[in-house]
Copies of this chain bind each other. A is one copy, B any other.
Amino acid sequence: MRARVAVTLKTGILDPQGKAIEGALHGLGIEDVVSVRQGKIFDIELAVADRAAAEDSLRQACEKLLANMVIENYRIEIA
């Protein structure tokens, strides 16, 4: 079973990396860009048959390792 986990910064958390990218895009002449926020994707393959078990494992993975729950949100999409 395949899944994609997206980890993004919570609203209100500063994102200096996103700000730097925004500045660089303006420097390259792409002026339409108003804001950029960066996050992470994890494409995960699981050896489980049912969706519920996959979701349980992925939730554990996010909360123990992939996301910093103080400053980040995660979203799980199972294919």
* Residues of chain A having any CB pair with chain B under 8 Å: 6, 8, 18, 21, 24-25, 28, 30, 32-48, 53-54, 57, 60-61, 64-66
* Contact A42-B64, Cβ < 8 Å, known A33-B57, A47-B32: no
* Contact A61-B30, Cβ < 8 Å, known A39-B41, A41-B41: yes
Task: Please give the count of copies of this chain that the complex contains.
Answer: 2
Instruction: Show 24 residue pairs from A and B whose CB-CB distance is below 8 angstroms, ordered by the A residue.
Output: A6-B41, A8-B41, A8-B43, A21-B65, A25-B61, A32-B46, A32-B53, A32-B54, A32-B57, A33-B44, A33-B46, A33-B57, A34-B47, A35-B44, A35-B45, A36-B44, A37-B42, A37-B43, A38-B40, A38-B43, A39-B40, A39-B42, A39-B43, A40-B41
